[in-house]
């Protein structure tokens, strides 16, 4: 089945130690998104790629970066994780043609910062 | 993107219909109304979307008010597997495909 895959499902890092979260997709979608979801809150969009074009949300901290080396893969880099960055990180994809494009979400990576 | 308002939580008995309301009084003419749901420990998933007319699919129905300032997601027979947080989201046609989630409604289904 075509899908959005996130690895690992659970990630533990230390305060200030860089960490990278991975997302891959078999849907061949040209748009990929990263969301942050803290406990009992709604997902919050961090940024998205439209093909290779990176689109950052205005309130996304500089501590968060992203890379998309090809259509299938997208990475979220947290350069210096703080305790407040502990959250579920969700990757999603969508197409871009037509009047509506459903977003397909991965299962998320739960990040713990010690 | 316009803002949506939903009740924080709702309860329903199993096998009864559920009506989940959403207010979007600042909706513009080009805003689509989307509903996604998030089951425990999973990513959100698409439920339904519409623009002006009521919509039906295998999961649910979407009833849109005539002035489009509110909408209602209808689950015709709630099951335990429908227990989730339901998000009502507006997105303008022609903008990027970004979603800005509101607070959502946590639905509890009682056996």
Confidence of residue A2 (pLDDT cuts 50, 70, 90): low
A7 to chain B, any CB pair closer than 8 A? The answer is no
Q: Which of A103-112, B28-37, B85-94 has the lowest mean pLDDT?
A: B85-94
Instruction: Please report the pLDDT score of residue A64 as a whole number.
Output: 97
Q: What is d(CA A25, CA B22) in angstroms, rounded to the nearest whole number? A: 32
Contact criterion met (CB < 8 Å) for A90 and B43: yes
Instruction: Please report the pLDDT score of residue A41 as a whole number.
Output: 92
A26 to chain B, any CB pair closer than 8 A? The answer is no
Q: How far is CA B7 from CA A17, A111, B73, B95, in A?
A: 39, 29, 13, 27
B9 to chain A, any CB pair closer than 8 A? The answer is no
Enumerate residues 59 to 98 of chain B having a beta carbon within 8 A of any beta carbon in chain A.
Answer: 85, 87, 93, 96-98
A74: left (phi over 0), alpha (psi -120 to 50) or beta: beta
The better pLDDT of the pair B51, B98 is held by: B51
DSSP state of B41: T
Instruction: Please report the pLDDT score of residue B99 as a whole number.
Output: 77
The pLDDT tens digits of the residues spanning B29-40 come to: 888 899 999 999
Per-residue pLDDT, averaged over B12-32, amounts to 93
For residue B2, pLDDT beyond 70? no
B10: left (phi over 0), alpha (psi -120 to 50) or beta: beta
């Amino acid at each position: 089945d075509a899908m959005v895959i996130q690895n690992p499902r659970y990630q533990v890092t230390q305060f200030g130690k860089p960490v990278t979260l991975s997302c891959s997709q078999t849907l061949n979608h040209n748009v990929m998104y990263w969301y942050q979801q803290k406990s009992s809150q709604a997902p919050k969009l961090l940024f998205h790629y439209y093909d290779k074009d990176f689109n950052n949300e205005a309130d996304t901290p500089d501590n968060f970066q992203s890379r998309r080396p090809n259509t299938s893969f997208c990475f979220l880099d947290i350069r210096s994780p703080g305790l407040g960055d502990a959250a579920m990180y969700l990757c999603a994809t969508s197409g871009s043609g037509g009047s509506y494009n459903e977003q397909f979400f991965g299962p998320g990576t739960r990040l713990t910062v010690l | 993107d316009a803002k949506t308002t939903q009740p924080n939580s709702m309860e329903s008995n199993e096998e009864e219909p559920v009506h989940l309301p959403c207010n979007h009084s600042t909706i513009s003419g080009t805003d689509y109304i989307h509903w996604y749901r998030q089951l425990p420990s999973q990513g959100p998933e698409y439920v339904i979307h519409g623009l002006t007319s009521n919509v039906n699919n295998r999961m649910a129905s979407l009833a849109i008010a005539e002035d489009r300032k509110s909408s209602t997601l209808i689950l015709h027979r709630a099951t335990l597997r429908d227990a989730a947080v339901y998000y009502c989201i507006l997105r303008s046609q022609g903008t990027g495909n970004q979603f800005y989630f509101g607070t959502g409604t946590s639905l509890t289904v009682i056996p």
